[in-house]
Amino acid sequence: MWVKYAVGWREFFDNETKKEYFQQLLKNIDQQYEQNICYPLKIDIFRLFTLIEPKDIKVVIIGQDPYHGPGQANGLAFSVNAGVKTPPSLVNIFHELKKDLGVNHYASGNLDHWVEEGVFLYNTIGSVVAKTPLSHKDIGWTTFSQNLIIYLNQIRDDIIYVLWGNYAKQYSEYIVNKSNIIKGAHPSPFSYSLFKDQHFFLKINNLLLKNKKKIIEWKM
C-alpha cells in the first residue's frame, strides 16, 4: 500500500484500513489519479502523517482541500514547497504572523518546520482535481477526517484546534475540549477583512502557555 505514516499512527491506520469506506477511498484515489491530473502527488497525500507523531501534536490547523494549481500542493494544509509562489491565503496568513509576532516568513511558503514544532496542518479533503476545488469532497475523505478528529480527541484532550472558515468550523462538534478551539474567518482574499487583526498566532501561543506547553516557534 502506498499510504505511509509514522509509527505512532499505526493504531489509527490499522483500524481505518479494515473499514470498507477507507478501502473504497483508496480505490477512488487510484482511479482519480489515473483518469485526471490531481494534486498533490499521490505519494504526498498522507505525507503529513510521516512528519509528526500523534503525541507531538500541539495545534491542529484545519484546512479544506489542497491547492489545485500545478506544483503548489505538498501534502500540508496552506503550505507550498520552497521556490513556489506563495498563494494568496498563505500571504494573508504571513501578514498576520508578521503583525502578531514580528515573524517575517515571506521568503518561503514551505511550512514543514511548523509541523516539526507541533502544528498539524491538515486538509480534511486530502486530494483534488487540477483547477477544480472540492472535486474530491465526496470520495470518502469526510469520513476519514471525522474519524481522525474523533481519534485525536480520544487519545488527547490538550490539543488546540484552529478552525478558519465555516467549513473548518463544522469539525468543532468532534472536539471534546471546547476551550481549546480558536475560531475565525478563512484567510482567503474573499474573507481577509474578517480574518485580519484577530491575533490568531498570539492566541495560539498564549493558550499553549496557559496549558503549560512550550510555544510554537513560527519562524523559518
Q: Which residues of 191-208 are buried (b: 16+ CB within 10 A; e: fewer)?
A: bbeebbebbbbeebbebb
Are 66 and 33 in contact by the 8 Å Cβ rule? The answer is no
Q: Where are the alpha helices (DSSP H) in 18-140?
A: 20-35, 48-51, 88-101, 112-116
Name which of 135, 145, 137 is nearest 48 in CA terms: 145
Beta bridge partners of 162: 61, 182
Annotated catalytic residue: which of 65, 138, 157, 197?
A: 65
Q: Judge whether 44 counts as a catalytic residue.
A: no
User: What residues are annotated to the active site?
Assistant: 65
